[in-house]
Amino acid sequence: HFFFPVYAMRLVEMIRAEHTSDETIAAVRDLALALGKTPVVCKTDSPGFIVNRCLFAFMLEAIHVYEDGVASLEDIDTAIKLGLNHPMGPFEMMDLSGLDTFPHVTQTLESLPVTSWACPESVKELVREGKYGRKTGEGWYSYSE
C-alpha cells in the first residue's frame, strides 16, 4: 500500500494475508527498498492496515472536536502542527488527500470495534512492571543504553 502522493511519501505498507509466504514479503521488501521506500509489515489483513486505522481515529476525533464547538478548524490544525509536531493539521490533511475518499475509508473501518477511552491492558501491565518509558529506562522500548 503506497501513500499519496507516491513521489513524496516514503512509506509502503506490506499486508500479510493468510497465505502470504515469507519469501513474498522479502521480495516486496526488496522491491520497496529498491524504489527508495521504507517498508513495514501489517501482520494481518486488517481494515485500514496500520496507518489509516490509526490516522482515522485521530481525524475522526478532530472532526468531533470541531463539531462539538471546542475549537475552530484553524486552531485545531495549528494545535496539532505545533503541539504534536505534525507537518500539517488533520483538516489540511483531509483536504490534501481528498474528502471524497474519507467516507470510503470510514466505511471500511466500520467493521472494527469502536475505540474506547479506557486505558488498554497492555499499558496497565507496563505500569505495574514499573516501565514508565524514558524516565525509567524502559516502556514499550528499552532505553538502557
Q: What is the 3-state secondary structure (H, E, C) of the chain?
A: CECCCCCCCCEEEEECCCCCCHHHHHHHHHHHHHCCCEEEEECCCCCCCCHHHHHHHHHHHHHHHHHCCCCCHHHHHHHHHHHHCCCCCHHHHHHHHCHHHHHHHHHHHCCCCCCCCCCCHHHHHHHHCCCCEHHHCECCCECCC
Active-site pick, 1, 19, 86, 104 = 1
C-beta contacts of 84-87 below 8 A and 24+ residues apart: none
Q: Give the pLDDT of residue 145.
A: 72
Full pLDDT tens readout for the chain, 145 residues: 998 889 999 999 999 999 999 999 999 999 999 999 999 999 999 999 999 999 999 999 999 999 999 999 999 999 999 999 999 999 999 998 889 989 999 999 998 887 788 888 999 999 999 999 999 999 999 998 7
Confirm whether 1 is a catalytic residue: yes
User: 43 and 70 in contact (C-beta within 8 Å)?
Assistant: no
List, for residues 88-100, the tens digit of each pLDDT value: 999 999 998 889 9
